[in-house]
Amino acid sequence: MDSKNYYTPNEVAQLFMVSPVTVRQWAQKGLLHAALTAGGHRRFLHQELIRFAEERGLTPNWPVNGGKHVLIVEDDLHFGEFLQAFLGGRPGVDGVEIATNGFEAGRRVETLHPDIVLLDLTMPGLDGFTICHRLKGDRGTRDIRVIAMSGAPTTDNVQRILAAGAEACLPKPIDTYRLLELLHLDEPGVAAH
């Protein structure tokens, strides 16, 4: 059984093999209790999901492999949501969350404990270089894999982010096959371009 503490509505939908709309309806009807984040997003505690499943005789589809948790740090919400949809539900991925700025990323890292951070370099406030430097400079987060993304992948930017500890810096638009290779989620039978 998975030991993750809380789940997003999309993750709960995957566990119970229903649509996220159904999960929201359960929460609105008070059948499944949720905590709200500071941003107003629902999060469901592991114990609450166990209670809900037992009361209804359901068997959640708990992740078997202990898949990866991915945090996307991207100020372009549409692009972040594209990546979330692209990676979410893939074998080997237990959850994908988005932080739209560096400050939110810091909070999410503390609560999510992601395995991988997909990090935009240029954002208002804290930029990707600063975030990567902080992640890699902290004993509690230095093992998080960081893959940078940039619309301006100049030689200087790439060298700076690699020096800060990122594994790679992908140019935007993202080559999704290359991203899957870097995440070790490449699809069998699909040739990379």
> What are 49-82's pLDDT values in tens digits?
888 988 988 877 765 556 788 999 999 999 999 9
The answer on pLDDT for 193 being more than 60 is no
Average pLDDT of span 155-178 = 95
Sign of the alpha-carbon dihedral angle for 39, 41, 42, 45 = negative
User: Do the two domains 6-56 and 68-182 of this chain adopt the same fold?
Assistant: no
Average pLDDT of span 101-115 = 88
Maximum average pLDDT range among 62-71, 103-112, 148-157: 148-157
Residue ranges per structural domain of the chain? 6-56, 68-182
The answer on pLDDT for 92 being more than 70 is yes
16 versus 159: the higher-pLDDT residue is: 159
Q: So what's the architecture of 68-182 in CATH?
A: 3-Layer(aba) Sandwich (3.40)
Main-chain phi, psi angles of 158, to 5 degrees: -65, -45
Given pLDDT bands bounded at 50, 70 and 90, which one contains residue 107? confident
Average pLDDT of span 145-165 = 95
Spatial distance between the Cα atoms of 140 and 159, rounded to a whole number of angstroms: 24
The answer on pLDDT for 162 being more than 80 is yes
Q: So what's the architecture of 6-56 in CATH?
A: Orthogonal Bundle (1.10)
Sign of the alpha-carbon dihedral angle for 182, 183, 187, 189 = positive
39 versus 34: the higher-pLDDT residue is: 34
Strand partners, 93: 68
Given pLDDT bands bounded at 50, 70 and 90, which one contains residue 110? confident
Question: Are the CB atoms for 147 and 118 separated by under 8 Å?
Answer: yes
Model confidence, pTM: 0.65
Given pLDDT bands bounded at 50, 70 and 90, which one contains residue 174? very high
The answer on pLDDT for 188 being more than 70 is no
Spatial distance between the Cα atoms of 127 and 101, rounded to a whole number of angstroms: 8
